[in-house]
Amino acid sequence: MIVMCFVIRRLLQAGFTLGIFLTLLIAGLELYTCTLVLRLAQVMRDEQLDQNNVQQVVEFSDLCRYFINARFGNVATVISVITILTASVAYWILMSGFLFNIGQSIFEFSVTNATQFLNATVGPIGATPITSFETIWTTKLTPVLLVAVVYPLCLIRNPAVFQKLNSLGVISIVYFVIFIAVKAASWGINYDACKDPSIKDWNLSFPALTGTITLGFFVHNAVIAMTNQAAPSTRIRDLGYGYLLVLVTYLYIGISVYITFPDAKSTIRDNILKNFASTDVLAFVARVGLLFQMSATFPLIVYIARLQLIKVLFGRNENLLLWRAVVAAGVIALGLLAAVFFPNIGAVLR
């Protein structure tokens, strides 16, 4: 979800040709390693079954504990927690930005003529007079407002609630893909390296792409739990389908906007939706859909972080309300501080 908004800027930083190659390479590498995780999980189940000591495999760190030792399992958990916390901070910054833009859009819709809504221009947003609304509705207020909505959701005991809500998020992803298609079709092809020096086949800043894409394909710490309900014979196949769909989505969005964006490619923002004015109706709907999707996904991130942290601390799963409240408060506080004082999501992802 995060990478979907950022892949275009990262493709620019890596260079068009090199960026496509690296995206394909990392997708293949992560699919291969994720497949190994599922295969090792099945080996662990079979060995435990032979020993009449069946335990539920929860995550990758359990494999490390089983096949190597507890120390390696703890290291794997720490690395996983760092990744999850990074994702949670990025989510909070992105959700705060979406909420701010949604509020700004609603305000501008209420005070401007309807003819300005239909086809807002793309590019750098110029300075506008500051109104009383803008003095109140700021990027430092929206991260705080999110707490009132998201924190109670993080206290829900059963994660199946969020899985069902998150499944509705497919609608927002489909809409975002259609949104990109409509914009690209309206812009037409705008790819001329002679006129735009920022168009390059390769660039030394390619690690910006590889880091972001790696995070976008990283499900290794949760893939076992995600596929537990599937038949063992179809898990790897389904995983491959999932990776293929994600890869096609990333490449479609990145390539479509890269070759059609009408202004200089260097003006593409970290979050592509920031290139659209708040009065663009299509962009407004995209922001609302992505905010709903991420609000449903964030409690799942907190749930995974809680399971891993408590397992390291206590060696077992704890689902008491106290621990749910403490871990959720800690994760949200980290995201809140970043969104208020350091809302640079590009730097966070790097």
Integer angstrom CA distances of residue 178 from 182, 252, 290, 296: 6, 11, 14, 22
pLDDT of residue 317: 59
Q: Which two tokens stand for residue 103?
A: 């509020």
- In the numeric block, the tokens 């190994």 are attached to 36
pLDDT of residue 48: 74
pLDDT of residue 247: 93
pLDDT of residue 123: 47
Q: What does pLDDT average to in each consecutive run of 10 residues of the chain (350 residues)?
A: 75 90 95 93 80 66 85 84 85 90 85 49 47 77 90 81 73 89 92 86 86 86 77 87 92 91 87 85 90 85 80 65 85 91 77
* H or E segment to which residue 271 belongs: none
* H or E segment to which residue 65 belongs: helix 60-67
Q: Which two tokens stand for residue 71?
A: 């120390």
Count of CB atoms situated within 10 Å of the CB of 174: 12
pLDDT of residue 315: 61
pLDDT of residue 52: 66
pLDDT of residue 136: 81
CA-nearest of 30, 150, 92, 114 to 338 is 92
pLDDT of residue 126: 45
pLDDT of residue 30: 95
Domain boundaries defined on the chain: 3-116+135-349
